[in-house]
A and B are shown apart, each in its own frame.
Chain A
Amino acid sequence: MNDQLDITWQQVLKDLKKTVSTANFFTLFANTGLLSLADNIATIATPSTVVRDLLYKRFYKDVKSALDTQTKQDNELLFIVQALQQNSTLKEKSGPLFSADQPVRATHDKETSPVLKTDIKSSQPSMVGHLPRVRKEYNFSTFAVSSTNQLAFVSSQNVAQNPGQSYNPFFIYGPVGVGKTHLLHAIANHIYTQNPDRKIIYITSEEFTNEVVEAIKNNETSRMKRRFRTAALLLIDDIQFIEGKDRVQEELFHTFNILIDQGSQIVLSSDRPPQEIKKLEKRLSSRFAGGLTVDIEAPDFELKTAILLKKAEKYGWELSINVAKLLANGAQDTRSLEGLLLRAITVATSLQTDITEEIAMKALGRAAEEKRGSLHADDIIKEVCNFYSIKPTQLKGPKRDASLVRARQITMYMLKEELKLTLVEIGNILGGRDHTTVMHGVDKIEHQLGGDVHISQDISGIKQLLHV
């Protein structure tokens, strides 16, 4: 079939789909095709006599009007029986008998047999498996170290090499996305590779809470106690969430004592130091602080760059140092850093190039764009005030000192430009000003933008503060 005819016919079918019921469409129009349009006679192939007859009797008008609209001509229709090759990708559809690399593993049923599954499992050496809930790729070698997390890294290694001996309990705290969980996993993985038979439990405090609640509900506290109190290594992530949960804290307290007594290692992570976790029983917080407490700070610029290079390597890309620096500036914590990197990779993949500075800029730009969606009027007001060192109440107040007026008008302009708010809305936000006042302010700034360098510098400075 000719390509042009094919396209026309696809268009006709698309139109017909709207007028003909779906079931009719699929039974009758499947495997039809336009063979020729010569002399305004449209020859249409149908799969069988019956279908041809039905189309001719019932759908002549529909097909004709759709075709006439498409071709902008008055056509006569001629339906004939002619089989069109049905599209089928034989290779993937013909089943295992016909796949090229014989012999094949035939899974006749979709679900793999339980027999097969267990067989596979038992045939693996036990070392190859990994811990439940612990990600294998989080180990010490994939952790990027700099001055902000050096202490935490070194002490984690120490704990992993001498579990239960050097620092017990080991408590890591720091803000989100600095690598607490990574270190916890790395400790677990390290101890596991040293001795796969040791009982290692990695759990979040949320799950720990659930287990305690579940155990109490089902009268199985003894079983739960046994489970936790026999561990050689217990890692609890985000321990701050047990705040205010007395029964859970009590359970943890006893478990804690027993484990420490028998020389098992305990590792905890939190977003703040133990004494700052409110509603935590004194006896617990003092115990938490009884071993080594280290903090990880938010990554500095060098670390962010290093992390980017490591992550890029993990995904199989090579980053130039300039690009890494560029991206590192665009994110605060490691998670958004990874998001940014993935974005750059996606852009580069779609354009089939390396990650150049240009690509990085693009990724940054798009990230900023998305961020803009979450921008709020209060943010703008806050940053304008920061920029001019004034208070929001002054900005919204009635005073009309020259410096205040300028800040106020710039706020109006930015609310209009960045958030596309209406003049009335802006007026309301800025202490109930009239919309004509706002209009005047916006106009004035727009006007000055052309001539006054200071204005545009101020605006771009504020924008930078807003990360847009």
Chain B
Amino acid sequence: MQVTLKAEELKNKLGFINHAVSNKQQLPILLNILLEAEDHKLIISSTDLEIGIQIELKAEVKQTGKITVPAKTFSELINSLPADTLTIESDGSNCVVKTNKTKSVFATMSANEFPRLFEERGVLLASINAEELKKELNAVVFSASIDIARPSLSGVYVEQEENGFLLVATDGYRLSLKHFSAGKDDKFNLLEGKSNMIVPARAFKEALAIKEETGTIDLYVSLTHNQIIFEQGSTILISRLIEADFPNYEKIIPVDFSVVASFDREEMLKAVRICSIFARDIANVIKFSLQTNKIVVSAGENIVEVDSKIKGEENEIAFNSRYLLDALSNLPSDNINFEMTGPLNPGVFKTADDASYLHLIMPIKVQE
């Protein structure tokens, strides 16, 4: 193969391609990325078996063909090259990268060894404004467990709704829930047969990292191949779906509350940050004391007062500082309502202007 393209463009895309390069040494082919030259384009692919990424670049193709090159050295080289046009040539064994003044030769592996990332895109589930989706996803995905030993919790539960999705993520200590509804330009198609699935949280996190100028992101699902595809512009992200039972999240969402406190997210985040310094020594326990017109945030003897409008009886509850910091950094609005019934029941954070979102945290029981 022989293909010429702008080094700068390749450089921009390689960063994301590397997200799916395996760091496991055992399967050498997965340490490589696949380069395919077709008519007027170069297709780059990588996979670590969990997810796969495929990006198309415009290029001048003199001779079609495909080859795999070691991801690490290839990226390092491309990043070091001057902004210039470069030529990639391969005779099927070696791969040569040339610019005006440089020439580099790579050891390669046959493109036939590289696994196919997907066979079909599947059914188009939705075309959504990428900005909107990413903003909402951020407020949900962080709650998922990073422990892959608990498959169902390491994913985000996605259920189709009338005009959008329900997204739920939990790690067993906290839970985020969002009813994502379509904007005016968004399109939704209902899947036949199955209306819910668990998508690995990692796939969503990577989807958030896609850098494309196109404003729409397309979601495809293929149930026969057990896969979901995010496609934005010329970037495709493939992930498998998780086949497991998602815990019954509905039963743990409190239907009632005895006190509600409204506060400003930024101000509360600052208060929790201060207390978390001292909370480190006491198992990260941070206490909220809901009092008239304020919430007293405390870690041991260290207190910060946060102005708040309280409706209902005074009460106290304690949380792990890490979960509080995560939540307050990711809540999608600045006006927050905090609802609780007692020190033993989950505390619920809601966005004041939007009823479609909630985040809840299991409290820590502290004895007086």
Contact = CB atoms under 8 A, between A and B. Distances in A.
**Do they bind each other?**
yes
B117 interface: yes
A103 B345 contact: yes
A115 interface: yes
Nearest to A117: B283
B30 to A, nearest CB: 8
Contact of A113 (B149, B227, B364): B364
A96 interface: yes
B283 A49 contact: no
A57 B173 contact: no
B174 interface: yes
Contacts of B320: 108-109
A103 to B, nearest CB: 4
Interface in B116-160: 116-119, 149-153
Contact of A116 (B29, B171, B366): B366
Interface residues of A, number: 45
B171 A119 contact: no
Nearest to B281: A114
Contact of A48 (B25, B240, B342): B240
B366 A115 contact: yes
Contact of A27 (B49, B170, B172, B227): B49
B226 A48 contact: yes
A282 to B, nearest CB: 56
B71 interface: no
Contacts of A81: 224-227
Interface in A42-56: 47-51, 53-54
Contact of A119 (B242, B323, B368): B368
A133 interface: no
Given A49-B225, A88-B151, A113-B283, A83 B49 contact: no
Interface string A107-146: 1110111111001100100000000000000000000000
Interface residues of B, number: 61
Give the residue among B240, B244, B285, B320 with the most A Cβ atoms within 10 A: B240
Nearest to A103: B344
A172 B282 CA distance: 48
Given A21-B26, A88-B151, A113-B283, A49 B117 contact: yes
B362 interface: yes
B324 to A, nearest CB: 11
Contacts of B252: 97-98, 102
Interface of B: 24-27, 29, 47, 49, 52, 112-113, 115-119, 149-153, 170-175, 224-227, 238, 240-245, 247-248, 252, 281-285, 300, 320, 322-323, 342, 344-346, 360, 362-368
29 contacts: A23-B25, A48-B49, A49-B118, A49-B225, A50-B115, A53-B116, A57-B112, A83-B226, A83-B241, A86-B151, A86-B242, A88-B152, A90-B247, A97-B172, A98-B247, A102-B252, A102-B345, A103-B344, A106-B365, A108-B284, A111-B283, A113-B283, A113-B285, A113-B366, A114-B281, A115-B283, A115-B300, A116-B283, A120-B367
Given A53-B115, A83-B241, 18 more contacts: A27-B24, A49-B115, A58-B113, A81-B225, A85-B244, A88-B151, A90-B245, A94-B152, A97-B172, A97-B362, A98-B172, A98-B252, A103-B342, A106-B365, A108-B173, A113-B283, A114-B283, A116-B366
Interface of A: 21, 23-24, 27-28, 47-51, 53-54, 57-58, 81-86, 88, 90, 93-98, 102-109, 111-116, 119-120, 123
